[in-house]
Structure 1
């Protein structure tokens, strides 16, 4: 089926940087050629000649109370501010329009600010309330969507310096599926000590303001935020919206070359530019201007220049410039801030200059628009960004709609052809499934002991906070009369992967570069590829990868943060790139030569389902023939587990049999670790190559409840999950009564159990008492990001065997009108519905169809 791609236009913008607090100020600062890179008072304390582009001006927070502001970190506050401006500019009021508006946020260092006082050994500044509200990587999207009233589903992109460009691409692709006519895309990035120290220690920083492509090489770090309201063109015209430009196409790629350095041949950058033009049905001759990444470092500027020469035969005639000499390198928000700069200046035929330009460096011989604006009409332009790990992004845009020809794609059906898993139950998916069907009893959990020093640190935090009336009220409202100190003495355990020797299972494995979480991910990926009969030879660009993260490489982060003191100038450079959320994807891409579309999502629990839904879109739209999707987790430190418990019902247990999901006798959840991966591909492609097909992904739905600050609003949470279910059924074109099995992923907390049960009641009505309902989390523990993927693997095995395994341990179920499976059930399963939710209220529903 041939489909014409929807045109996606920009109907609202928001901005914050060192040189402006809104879009109007930003335009004037650009025209005035204002450079916001200055000596940093904050970082001169530690670093010699420290320069930065910092947001120092006083800011206001529209519609937020002082209490709310105090609980939020700058990543969320800035995202809210620019998002609010974009929605206002786009005249998108609260109500039906925002209810169906999605949110995609790109950020590199989210969830950091609340713990900076601990990192800097300034305990008196630590706020438990801020840690609870804003202390997780995934909290930013949940906070902003709730405050702005956006309920069309959200994702958090964590691909370091390409995060906001990547987020724009996901927003663009989501509009193509028809579920969202509007998507708010945000990039937000405050500068924190760990980030500054990492770049400084790598000798990437310039001691004076950066001068891309000229003079002494080096980058200047910056901070800020930007927002774009993306909207389907006809929808925008119908409601009379002002249109500021069009996002014509988008692509990503991966170098699969090195953890920090770009491929000196520029192959990944070449690939991403060509792919973006291919998606737009245009050629190099159609590009009138390129806004480059242009960090100012020797490696970036040389490789980027080489890549453009390879792609554009007429490159000497095309002006190219870097906006980073204005506001520095804004890391996660760089791409979106730079694209907004283009939309503000190009309509007036003003081509942005590269400021601070002096003597060009060797091999940098293009028209970099040195120091002064150039006059010229630009119909279509290109925006490029690159990141650690070789993540490459390219957006093609125009200042007026319909400057490009209509583009088309053949709509594909999407199949699962490969699966892999690593859990406490088994180091391979097959061994895990064999143990489950053999009903082998689970061994005891690995004991988790809160060390005396950590216990005292925790008590010290609580004692310090008890002098703060606001925090006392917060603790009382959340935990009532519960004795928190007694909770610290509770015995607990985790489902830990033990006895694993990766060297015996992997062809290419470098233990010097592999941390625990990356090892889990790589093992699951290689299993999925072997299962699918897929070997990467010279065709790595045809295989992409989307990984979902919850807490990411925690052990590496911990080691890196510990190295900051006593001297942050001597931080461990080897740990810095490995502490980023996309480090797992980087390691796996390099190990297996995966060079196609590449994104890391950090949306929290069930982030793997977010990866699956986006991978599905890339295949459905013919952008990639094959994708690896999934997630990986390593067990948290004891301190992190107890801090998480304080924020989620204080339920921890040391007996695996206490993990009773959908039970009236719930006693607690059990953390887990491991990975779950799927290889999905174009169904016709799979059939043509004779691949075994586990199941078809027939449709999915996504919605968020906007209840981050009101988790007790159960009707809204149920409504959100119901909306996701209805979307999945509609896309799969099946009726509720055709569903043969429902599999949830609740962690067993009564409120999360109630959301899944309530949504099934609403979506299926009287039929809900007849459809078998399962959940297998208690087998392997709550493997946060990949729990939905692991359950999908079990469900596809059920389709194959015709036998539904019971929910382990639960006997006294919490609902009598739901068909919970308590005994093995012989049943043919043709259509199965997978449910999942994040801790921030994002809800997923995925419909699987048997191909038997």
Structure 2
């Protein structure tokens, strides 16, 4: 592997119940000091469990902005990591930000609806709504530090923090940036506590992983790492903690909350990470385990560890959740910080909380593996692993190395094709809100039984139907021969906001002990991907990205990278967002739900919904299976401008960079683009900003396709739809969803349909991220 593909850790930041910084947290961890106490930040009246691991720092002392606590914790840890890396945002403004998260702005959802109930809507600022989405977190960090690199929020519940580190490395290796702030953040919320309480998954005592295994203890915090290319780190004279060798991501395809009892999904992620790192299982010296403290999770992980590592005589394993609690989307990155510190210092933090009798019982079942009970170990370490497993059956593993090691080549230049499309969409009808039609026949067509789909929330139902339609269109059916060759990337702006809000309102009305065990699993953003993988039998890569309306295109960029890095041969890239009474209220309250159509100089947009899934296949795989080809994905570009989530204007330079990067990667001149599939929605500032960039780059008269003119604004689904319809145009299909325009000196006018060889699909979202994808006729 060339030096430019090497990824190193140069800065660490941490805040959790063990302390406000890395050294304080590390000192407490190695001494086995627990941060678990009785919970006082939420009302636990009537709850059987009352323990939690909360950091006492008030919001205002974390950062001065009026953001959700998840963002504030992240900003605090990010600042420490940047300072530790001795890297200045002023001189390195191209730093990207990738954040893992589980519950998003749940604390703000709680405070907003409590305030509305107590004081009335008219006395609560509508700006509080912008604190709710997980999409805002990475952007808020970028705004605080003025960072202009690519951003994303990985929302794969408890595996999110680990996947964020993996994705940052992938982007560095693909040349997208030299430096990333990557990690995870989650606040302690009544939503999470009520949900796990309803599942009866909380421990009455401090959690005891690999020991009593009688439940979890929730925590909060943020862990952030500065990850950069080795070349960049050496060039600026950075102190290097360690190298990140490789990672693995997989899906159980088993159950929405429980792990596979045989541990096969977990072992798949671990095997992928080991192979990606050019190692063997016996090379690993230390594993910071997922170790939640629930019986099913601990049993599956215990089995996985013994199955894969009983060949080793030197492995140590510990769960720092025994001291930090389970910090959900931040867990993986917090544990990654501890793993890096263990490598640096040659000290393994313990699994706390064993009695003398429990230690004796552990020795009997541990075999060769040292689970480090109660007291830290001094040990020479070369390779260390951190594992995270999550709701939805998502698994992630990452490996850190103290020394450089040559690893297998990753990147392939093989072409990637669109081979299947699955579309569920609303249709604009002159009103300010439209919904997609899902009927019993839609489920019956794909043999989706009522016993399965009745468990799903609206967001997951939309994704499931579009996903299976796309697979059917591509002629792909997962079985034991290919179930690990296919993965999923889902992009969303708002995720399952309806389920989240309704769950939270129920807690507000009935108390923390009144949460619904039925609906809680559907409040995590990655539930839709989990249900889809379970039904379709997909056991490969599975990630959900929340980054505003452009997430549907960012998912395609991400999926393309996964194939080109040879992690999978087939990917389903999707954009999904729902429209319900909850979203109608939120967008209406914010004042942007109107009947205005794109390029009409309006004040809002028609609120729509949908899910659009696009199947991508490597050329080798597509040819081998004689898959249909709509178009070739030639290249993509992503860019970001740090601006407040409330700022609706399109940043022209950011959009131009995304388009320019895509053209540069493709080796194309701008004039070779035949038409654009755009993102104008009806808001004058957005539409004018978009058209100004097109005029500057392409001149006037360039054909422009608007899917939102036909479907309403379905946020991430519209971004995916823009690409899907462009692919259908290049393929020569006649049933195009959208309206054609021609760019003029002052706006855009309706025109005849276009055709050509190359199409450009573009989207920008709240918070300043833009994605551009170029496809070619085949």
- With the shorter chain as reference, the TM-score category is over 0.9
Deviation at 1:803, TM superposition (A): 7.8
Aligned to 2:636: 700
Aligned to 2:713: 782
Hey, what's the Cα distance between the residues in 2 that align with 1:74 and 1:46?
A: 26
Aligned to 1:371: 374
Hey, what's the Cα distance between the residues in 2 that align with 1:559 and 1:144?
A: 28
Structural mapping, 1:214-233, within 5 Å: 214-215=211-212, 217-233=214-230
Deviation at 1:815, TM superposition (A): 4.3
Hey, what's the Cα distance between the residues in 2 that align with 1:725 and 1:614?
A: 16
Out of 159, 171, 178, the residue aligned to residue 162 of structure 1 is 159
Aligned to 1:171: 168
Q: Does 1:823 align with 2:756?
A: no
Q: Does 1:799 align with 2:742?
A: no
Hey, what's the Cα distance between the residues in 2 that align with 1:345 and 1:130?
A: 43
Deviation at 1:138, TM superposition (A): 1.3
Kindly indicate whether the alpha-carbon contact (under 8 Å) linking 1:608 and 1:785 is maintained by their aligned counterparts in 2: yes
SS in 1 for 2:699: helix
Structural mapping, 1:379-418, within 5 Å: 379-398=382-401, 400-403=402-405, 405=407, 407-418=409-420
Deviation per CA, 1:62-110: give whole Å up to 9, x if none: 8x54xx3xx2111111111111111122222234522x22111111111
Hey, what's the Cα distance between the residues in 2 that align with 1:292 and 1:710?
A: 39
Out of 549, 566, 574, the residue aligned to residue 605 of structure 1 is 549
Aligned to 2:669: 735
SS in 1 for 2:214: coil
Deviation at 1:598, TM superposition (A): 0.5
Q: Does 1:82 align with 2:77?
A: yes
Aligned to 1:466: none
Hey, what's the Cα distance between the residues in 2 that align with 1:809 and 1:532?
A: 27
Deviation at 1:651, TM superposition (A): 4.9
User: Cα–Cα, structure 1 residues 552 and 712, in superposed 2: closer, same or farther, change >3 Å?
Assistant: closer
Deviation per CA, 1:489-513: give whole Å up to 9, x if none: xxx4324426563332222332332
**So what's the TM-score if we normalise by structure 2?**
0.93
Aligned to 1:348: 345
Structural mapping, 1:418-567, within 5 Å: 418-425=420-427, 443=429, 445=431, 492-497=432-437, 499=439, 501-509=441-449, 510-538=452-480, 539-564=482-507, 565-567=509-511
Deviation at 1:312, TM superposition (A): 2.1
Aligned CA RMSD, in angstroms, stands at 2.5
Out of 603, 621, 624, the residue aligned to residue 685 of structure 1 is 621
Deviation at 1:129, TM superposition (A): 5.8
Hey, what's the Cα distance between the residues in 2 that align with 1:95 and 1:165?
A: 27
Deviation at 1:742, TM superposition (A): 1.2
Kindly indicate whether the alpha-carbon contact (under 8 Å) linking 1:774 and 1:807 is maintained by their aligned counterparts in 2: yes
Deviation at 1:54, TM superposition (A): 0.4
Q: Rg bigger for which structure?
A: 1
User: Cα–Cα, structure 1 residues 318 and 501, in superposed 2: closer, same or farther, change >3 Å?
Assistant: same
Kindly indicate whether the alpha-carbon contact (under 8 Å) linking 2:69 and 2:105 is maintained by their aligned counterparts in 1: no
SS in 2 for 1:501: helix
Q: Which moved more, 1:283-292 or 1:410-419?
A: 410-419
User: Cα–Cα, structure 1 residues 107 and 408, in superposed 2: closer, same or farther, change >3 Å?
Assistant: closer
Deviation at 1:798, TM superposition (A): 1.2
Deviation per CA, 1:735-772: give whole Å up to 9, x if none: 1111111111121211111222222234x2xx422432
Out of 635, 657, 667, the residue aligned to residue 579 of structure 2 is 635
User: Cα–Cα, structure 1 residues 712 and 264, in superposed 2: closer, same or farther, change >3 Å?
Assistant: closer
Aligned to 1:848: 775
Hey, what's the Cα distance between the residues in 2 that align with 1:545 and 1:410?
A: 19
Kindly indicate whether the alpha-carbon contact (under 8 Å) linking 2:7 and 2:172 is maintained by their aligned counterparts in 1: yes
Structural mapping, 1:9-20, within 5 Å: 9-20=8-19
Structural mapping, 1:228-267, within 5 Å: 228-267=225-264
Hey, what's the Cα distance between the residues in 1 that align with 2:667 and 2:190?
A: 51
Q: Which moved more, 1:6-15 or 1:364-373?
A: 364-373
Out of 124, 135, 147, the residue aligned to residue 150 of structure 1 is 147
Aligned to 2:702: 771
Deviation per CA, 1:418-477: give whole Å up to 9, x if none: 11101135xxxxxxxxxxxxxxxx6565xxxxxxxxxxxxxxxxxxxxxxxxxxxxxxxx
**So what's the TM-score if we normalise by structure 1?**
0.85
Deviation at 1:849, TM superposition (A): 1.2
Hey, what's the Cα distance between the residues in 2 that align with 1:443 and 1:120?
A: 35
Out of 205, 214, 217, the residue aligned to residue 208 of structure 1 is 205
Deviation per CA, 1:499-533: give whole Å up to 9, x if none: 56333222233233233322221221112111111
Unaligned runs of 5+ in 2: none
Deviation at 1:236, TM superposition (A): 0.6
User: Cα–Cα, structure 1 residues 521 and 713, in superposed 2: closer, same or farther, change >3 Å?
Assistant: closer
Aligned to 1:106: 100
Deviation at 1:290, TM superposition (A): 1.1
Hey, what's the Cα distance between the residues in 2 that align with 1:651 and 1:385?
A: 39
Deviation at 1:693, TM superposition (A): 1.1
Hey, what's the Cα distance between the residues in 2 that align with 1:624 and 1:127?
A: 47
Hey, what's the Cα distance between the residues in 2 that align with 1:443 and 1:570?
A: 40
User: Cα–Cα, structure 1 residues 324 and 742, in superposed 2: closer, same or farther, change >3 Å?
Assistant: same
Q: Which stretches of structure 1, 4 residues or longer, exceed 6 Å deviation after superposition?
A: 2-5, 802-807
Kindly indicate whether the alpha-carbon contact (under 8 Å) linking 2:209 and 2:291 is maintained by their aligned counterparts in 1: yes
Hey, what's the Cα distance between the residues in 2 that align with 1:3 and 1:524?
A: 40
SS in 2 for 1:540: coil
User: Cα–Cα, structure 1 residues 816 and 306, in superposed 2: closer, same or farther, change >3 Å?
Assistant: same
Hey, what's the Cα distance between the residues in 2 that align with 1:806 and 1:364?
A: 59
User: Cα–Cα, structure 1 residues 37 and 793, in superposed 2: closer, same or farther, change >3 Å?
Assistant: same
Hey, what's the Cα distance between the residues in 1 that align with 2:705 and 2:675?
A: 8
Hey, what's the Cα distance between the residues in 1 that align with 2:506 and 2:414?
A: 49
SS in 1 for 2:5: coil
Kindly indicate whether the alpha-carbon contact (under 8 Å) linking 1:3 and 1:410 is maintained by their aligned counterparts in 2: no
Kindly indicate whether the alpha-carbon contact (under 8 Å) linking 2:691 and 2:743 is maintained by their aligned counterparts in 1: no
SS in 2 for 1:222: coil
Unaligned runs of 5+ in 1: 426-441, 446-491
Hey, what's the Cα distance between the residues in 2 that align with 1:597 and 1:178?
A: 21
Aligned to 1:574: 518
Deviation at 1:662, TM superposition (A): 2.0
Deviation per CA, 1:168-217: give whole Å up to 9, x if none: 11111111110211111131111111100111222211111122111352
User: Cα–Cα, structure 1 residues 551 and 232, in superposed 2: closer, same or farther, change >3 Å?
Assistant: same
